Amino acid sequence: MSTDWKSFQPLLIPKIPNLHKIDVYEKNGGYKTLKDILTSKDHTPESVTNTVKAANLRGRGGAGFNAGLKWSFMPKPDGGPRYIAANGDESEPGTFKDRQIFEYNPHQFIEGSIIAGYAMDITAVYVYIRGEYRSWINMFQKAVDDAYAKGYLGKNICNSGFDLDMYVHSGAGAYICGEESSLMESLEGKRGYPRVKPPFPAQKGLWGRPTTINNIETLANVPLIMKNGSEWYTSIGAKTHPGPVLYGISGHVNKPGVYEYPTGMLISDLINEVCGGMRGGKKVKAVIPGGSSTPPLRGDQLDGVRMDADSLREAGSMMGTAGMVIMDEDTDMVDVLWRISHFYHHESCGQCTPCRDGTGFLEKTLIKIKNGEGETRDLDLLLDLCTQIEGRTICALADAAAWPVRYTITRFREDFEKRVKKSAFALA
Amino acid sequence: MPEIFIDDKRYEFEGSPVLLQFLLDVGLDHPFFCYHPSLSIPANCRQCYVEVGTPVPNRETGDYELDENGERVIRFFPKLMPACKMEASDGMVVKTHRSSELVKRGHKDVLEFILMNHPLDCPICDQAGECPLQIQTYKYGPEGSRFEHKKVHKPKRIKLGPRVILDAERCINCTRCVRFTEEISQTHQLAIISRGDKNYPATAPGREFDDPYSLNTVDICPVGALTSSDFRFKARVWEMNQTPSIDVTNGKGANIDIWTRDNLVMRITPRFNPNVNDYWMPDFGRDDYRRMNENRISRPEVKVDDTRIKSSWHNAVLTFNEYLSGVNNKEILGIGSAFSSVEDNYALNKLLNRIGVSELVFTPNIEEGSGDGFLISDDKYPNTNGCRLLGLKEMNPAGLNKAISAASVKVVVMMEDDLVGRSVVTAEDLKDKKVIYFGSNNNETSKLADLVVPITCSAEHTASYVNVDGRIQRTIPAKETLYTNRKLNLEMSVGRLDRYATKYDNWSSDDNRIDCVPAWEFIENAAEQSGQPFNFADARDVFEDLSKSIDAFSGITYERMDDELGVVIAGSEKQKVTSA
């Protein structure tokens, strides 16, 4: 890590009081980057895209795809409307970072969206916010209204001739609508069923028009990159996965919360230094690094594991949304897994067979084990069912449902074996 | 021509067909539920998995990369792919369950999940016997289930609308019905509600599924979730005979299958014809089975001293000839019918022409604005264009009324058309005239007739009809009349493998047979009785005769109608259907 995390000053949510007010944001240099880009001759849409691409800004919504590269997939403008759908659905258990942006630094996200809009010649940005975030939707709507009043949104932004509208859209309580293609369906007023790809959103997205979907936090990073350059940005945090990240840490730590630090933080540092250690000085049993769908890591295998895509892949998990759940040694992994499976069973949209019925099968089998009626063969059955579900559906929710089951059982098998009877015969 | 390799066998294709459709077209059975050739492809059932690979192109040479053995390098997709979402491309390599254990396992896995929450009560399910889920489970499913928990319970017997009932537990969420109302009938009346394994299709609260095409969703439902409230639990599929025919409730002439049991029509379903109705038909066309079964005229009836009595066929023929010969030929009016077939109108016209009566007159039954531009036409009769092509004299209702009520007319011969019921004429107009009525069902007009000749309905004869687009199509008899039987009448149903039943086949039945004949046959009998037979032995003879004498029909045969899914008669498509 090239920067010392202890001296790191937050960039996404700087410690400036009342930053959510547009005057304060402007006073602290806000919207200046935007004005520069829109008015100076040095910047073209291509150069903005290339800078973001060079900064290797990886999506903060879970998949970790290079945002600039994603932008470059958009076809050439043909005069028709083009959209950005900003994903603030944030429904994955353990994830609660975007709402901090809506509450404390909404204008940086708005500025980032406008820059992205300029880079891709966008007509309108739809900000899709989780329906349960009612107060945050109201807060953010206020910020959008302010930006309109100051002329940062609407027609002829900063007298540059560039027009962009921003609409705030409230979700209706479905996890699946955080999946990019069902988010688009939901925005179109339809049932939140993921779409089959191809066609990809960049070819045929909202209302059949080119669309890019970015996470809120991803877009909030854009003004930083444009202001300070891609080289500066790549110097923050892990080499292959640079930049500041909002770590949403929950669970059995002394000081849970959202912390902003560079990527590539040691998980042990996050637990012990940032969050003040484990509650009651207990041992770490398990860490879910990036929201409930990412495979959990064992507490005794955390040495040297850092919060970036490469290190976590090596350790057998994923960065996800950096919504970390820390569990201590008293945790029963059967209960944890049942709760996670219950969530995915409840939230499956029901479009594809393996997920619709498979998630129910998983949960019902886990309830059986939880109630002490399970047998060893049920564990094998669960693993077999995961094979039947993974990679067999339109969207990645089935994977998200199957991975925790597979990896919790394989990594914490002793917890499960304690709860099950020995099978009289093995499952074929 | 581009080539594709399926299970190591080479096939050629044109264009970019959907892989699943291509598999089915070349005769390779493949399981699927949600795919339907006329609807959009959601790829949600995940049943039609295949392994797919494509050759790797070499950017420099433009050819394909080869391995050390000189074989093409094939890059396989890392996951099982649904065949319905793949397009065939040149050099593509496909592995189905025939050559891939993974695909075989994939099919089993999905069926295990589908059956998990699906009631396993085929013996009491109405769909059994024609159920894609049942068939595919036998072919591709797992031997048992590992599911030992409680199934999800959902509402049963929901009346979605006046004609369709839903059993949500049986639903496998293929969304065919929803897509039908969105894409084909475009009423958008159905949507999937709830989430996950509690999903099922429903209407908006307080709304009915009263789509005029609603029953098509019952046909395309791959399980017993949607059933017709009229047909459900009336007959098992394997008890019925399926006979291809034509819908005569409408000028469109949708292609149908008539399903019979014991000489009763149990239901009518659409039959695929891409030139006419695709896979669909309007709901009211299905209700036509009542007309075929109920209120039929059986045995001829004559009026003696104002009393209607049943008569023998011999007496009916004698009476018919007596009426015609008893008056001057100028006093006879022949009325054709756009409801009756080309053959029947032609035979009657030929007979009357021979005794010096001028061409039959007819009046179309057209309700302007009642059609929908899809499968419901303004024209309520199936053969208006046929009558025109035969050269019958088209009149508007007022004109026909005038012609009938003229004092000079003493005998009126009517081909089946309820002119009194349609208010074209009144009982008063027909007073003091001898009325001969050819009809299959009792109606207002038959009540007034002096001689009623019971004729076969469209489910009992071979006959052709020319639809609003000038396409001539024919029916095939689906049920027996009293004097025909399946074995002797070679036009009979081709529904069952053992279709030519003998009296000893336990499914053959003498019940419910109507004592009637095709109109042309009665006319032939009358001609023969008067000593000048036409020598029509069956409907083919009639059609052959008319195709020789009328230019419009020349070169058209029953074989061509069968092979070409109906023949468009040259020039007829320009004949506009108007109410004149």
DSSP labels, B85-153: G-B--TTEEEE-TTT-HHHHHHHHHHHHHHHHSS---GGG-TTTTS-HHHHHHHHHS-SS----SPPPP
> CA angle, A332 as apex, A327 and A333 as ends, to 5°?
75
Most distant CA pair in chain B: distance in Å?
Answer: 100
Q: A375: helix, coil or strand?
A: strand
B505 has pLDDT over 70:
no
State which residues of chain A have pLDDT below 70. Answer: 1-3, 423-428
Per-residue pLDDT of B259-292, as tens digits, reads 988 889 999 999 999 999 999 999 999 999 999 9
- Closest chain B C-alpha to A362 CA, distance in angstroms: 10
- Cβ separation of B110 and A346 shorter than 8 Å? no
* Bridge partner residues of A315 (DSSP): none
Q: What is the CA radius of gyration of chain A?
A: 22
Quick one: pLDDT band at residue B577, thresholds 50, 70, 90?
very low
Q: In A202-344, at which residue ranges do the beta strands (DSSP E only) sit?
A: 211-215, 244-251, 257-262, 284-288, 297-298, 323-328
Chain B residues with CB under 8 Å of A347 CB are 195-196
Q: Residue A381: closest CA among chain B residues belongs to which residue?
A: B146
Q: Which of these, A286, A289, A288, lies nearest to A263 by C-alpha position?
A: A289
Chain A residues with CB under 8 Å of B85 CB are 196
Using the structure block, give the residue that is written with the tokens 């027009």. A163
- Closest chain A C-alpha to B99 CA, distance in angstroms: 19
Q: B411: helix, coil or strand?
A: strand
Q: Residue B111: closest CA among chain A residues belongs to which residue?
A: A353
- Closest chain A C-alpha to B497 CA, distance in angstroms: 36
Residue B194 contacts A where some CB pair is shorter than 8 Å: yes
Q: Residue B82: closest CA among chain A residues belongs to which residue?
A: A392
- Closest chain B C-alpha to A246 CA, distance in angstroms: 32
Residue B42 contacts A where some CB pair is shorter than 8 Å: yes
- Cβ separation of B42 and A361 shorter than 8 Å? no
- Cβ separation of B109 and A391 shorter than 8 Å? no
The pair of three-digit structure tokens given for residue A293, joined into one six-digit string: 């769908």
What is the spatial distance between Cα B47 and Cα B85, in angstroms, rounded to a whole number?
Answer: 12
Chain B residues with CB under 8 Å of A394 CB are 43-44
Using the structure block, give the residue that is written with the tokens 């439902």. B221
On average, the pLDDT of chain B sits at 91
**Residue of A348, A365, A391 with shortest CB distance to B196:** A348
Please tell me what DSSP assigns to residue A207: G
Per-residue pLDDT of A251-280, as tens digits, reads 999 999 999 999 999 999 999 999 999 999
- Cβ separation of A394 and B195 shorter than 8 Å? no
Using the structure block, give the residue that is written with the tokens 């949607």. B226
B497 has pLDDT over 60:
no
Q: Which of these, A362, A296, A282, A356, lies nearest to A325 by C-alpha position?
A: A296
List Cβ neighbours of B520 (8 Å cut-off, separation of 6 or more): B343, B344, B346, B347, B536, B539, B542
- Closest chain A C-alpha to B102 CA, distance in angstroms: 11
Please tell me what DSSP assigns to residue B203: P
Quick one: pLDDT band at residue B504, thresholds 50, 70, 90?
low
> CA angle, B385 as apex, B384 and B390 as ends, to 5°?
100
Query: Which of A196, A351, A393 to mutate to test binding with chain B, by most B CBs within 10 Å of its CB?
Result: A351
List Cβ neighbours of B9 (8 Å cut-off, separation of 6 or more): none
Q: Residue A388: closest CA among chain B residues belongs to which residue?
A: B109
Query: Which of A197, A357, A371 to mutate to test binding with chain B, by most B CBs within 10 Å of its CB?
Result: A357
Residue B101 contacts A where some CB pair is shorter than 8 Å: no
Neighbours of B410 (CB within 10 A): 16
The verdict on ipTM greater than 0.85 is: yes
* Bridge partner residues of B72 (DSSP): B66
The dihedral built from the CA positions of residue A358, A363, A364 and A369, taken in this order, carries a sign that is: positive
Residue B77 contacts A where some CB pair is shorter than 8 Å: no
- Closest chain A C-alpha to B214 CA, distance in angstroms: 22
How confident is the model over B1-14, as a mean pLDDT?
95
B49-55 vs B74-76, strand pairing mode? antiparallel
B503 has pLDDT over 90:
no
Instruction: State phi, psi for B575 to the nearest 5 degrees.
Output: -70, 105
Q: Which of these, B107, B108, B103, B121, lies nearest to B223 by C-alpha position?
A: B121
In single-letter form, the type of residue at position A65 comes to F
Give one DSSP letter per residue of A150-190, joined into a string.
TTSSEEEETTTTEEEEEEEEE--S-GGGGSHHHHHHHHTTS
Q: Residue A362: closest CA among chain B residues belongs to which residue?
A: B147
Q: Which of these, B341, B388, B346, lies nearest to B364 by C-alpha position?
A: B388
Per-residue pLDDT of B414-426, as tens digits, reads 999 999 999 999 9
Per-residue pLDDT of B531-566, as tens digits, reads 999 999 888 899 999 999 999 999 999 999 999 999
Quick one: pLDDT band at residue B500, thresholds 50, 70, 90?
low
Query: Any idea how long chain B is?
Result: 580
pLDDT at B61: 82
Query: Which of B137, B173, B197 to mutate to test binding with chain A, by most A CBs within 10 Å of its CB?
Result: B197
Residue B192 contacts A where some CB pair is shorter than 8 Å: yes
Query: Which of B76, B80, B109 to mutate to test binding with chain A, by most A CBs within 10 Å of its CB?
Result: B109
Please tell me what DSSP assigns to residue A421: B
What is the spatial distance between Cα B424 and Cα A96, in angstroms, rounded to a whole number?
Answer: 76
Residue B297 contacts A where some CB pair is shorter than 8 Å: no
Quick one: pLDDT band at residue B501, thresholds 50, 70, 90?
low
Chain A residues with CB under 8 Å of B42 CB are 193, 196, 351
Q: Residue B81: closest CA among chain A residues belongs to which residue?
A: A392
pLDDT at A1: 45
Per-residue pLDDT of A28-83, as tens digits, reads 999 999 999 999 888 999 999 999 999 999 999 888 899 999 999 999 999 999 99
What is the spatial distance between Cα B331 and Cα A408, in angstroms, rounded to a whole number?
Answer: 96
Query: Omega of the bond prior to B300 within 30 degrees of 0, cis?
Result: no
How confident is the model over B290-307, as a mean pLDDT?
93
Alpha-helix runs per DSSP H in B221-374: 283-286, 289-293, 313-325, 342-354
Query: Which of B146, B154, B172 to mutate to test binding with chain A, by most A CBs within 10 Å of its CB?
Result: B146
Chain A residues with CB under 8 Å of B148 CB are 368
In single-letter form, the type of residue at position B360 comes to L
pTM of the model: 0.92
- Cβ separation of B117 and A357 shorter than 8 Å? yes
B205 has pLDDT over 50:
yes
Q: B246: helix, coil or strand?
A: strand
What is the spatial distance between Cα B122 and Cα B126, in angstroms, rounded to a whole number?
Answer: 8
pLDDT at A2: 45
What is the spatial distance between Cα B477 and Cα B490, in angstroms, rounded to a whole number?
Answer: 10
Q: Which of these, B205, B202, B180, lies nearest to B193 by C-alpha position?
A: B202
Per-residue pLDDT of B306-359, as tens digits, reads 888 999 999 999 999 999 999 999 999 999 999 999 999 999 999 999 999 999
Query: Any idea how long chain A is?
Result: 428
- Closest chain A C-alpha to B110 CA, distance in angstroms: 6
Using the structure block, give the residue that is written with the tokens 């921003």. A166
Give one DSSP letter per residue of A24-87, joined into a string.
HHHHTTTTHHHHHHHH-TT--HHHHHHHHHHTT-B-SSSS--BHHHHHHTSPPP-SS--EEEEE
pLDDT at A4: 79
What is the spatial distance between Cα B250 and Cα B350, in angstroms, rounded to a whole number?
Answer: 26
Among 3.40.640.10, 3.40.50.720, 3.40.50.740, 1.10.760.10, name the CATH number for the domain at B301-460+515-568. Answer: 3.40.50.740
Alpha-helix runs per DSSP H in B277-360: 283-286, 289-293, 313-325, 342-354
B143 has pLDDT over 70:
yes
Indicate the Cα dihedral angle A313, A317, A320, A322, nearest 10°: -100
Please tell me what DSSP assigns to residue B505: S
List Cβ neighbours of B306 (8 Å cut-off, separation of 6 or more): none
Q: How far is CA A49 from the centre of its chain?
A: 21
**Residue of A349, A350, A392 with shortest CB distance to B46:** A392
pLDDT at B576: 47
Q: What architecture (CATH level 2) is domain B122-228? A: 2-Layer Sandwich (3.30)
- Cβ separation of A356 and B49 shorter than 8 Å? no
Between B63 and B83, whose confidence is greater? B83
What is the spatial distance between Cα B285 and Cα B280, in angstroms, rounded to a whole number?
Answer: 11
Domain ranges, ordered by start, for chain B: 3-114, 122-228, 301-460+515-568
**Residue of B46, B85, B114 with shortest CB distance to A393:** B46
Residue B47 contacts A where some CB pair is shorter than 8 Å: yes
- Closest chain A C-alpha to B111 CA, distance in angstroms: 9
Q: What architecture (CATH level 2) is domain B3-114? A: Roll (3.10)
CA dist B1 → A63, B63, B71, B526, B573 (Å)? 41, 16, 20, 61, 37
Residues B518 and B455 sit within 8 Å (Cβ to Cβ): yes
Query: Omega of the bond prior to A244 within 30 degrees of 0, cis?
Result: no
Residues A292 and A307 sit within 8 Å (Cβ to Cβ): no
The pair of three-digit structure tokens given for residue A417, joined into one six-digit string: 């074996």
Query: Which of A342, A343, A353 to mutate to test binding with chain B, by most B CBs within 10 Å of its CB?
Result: A353
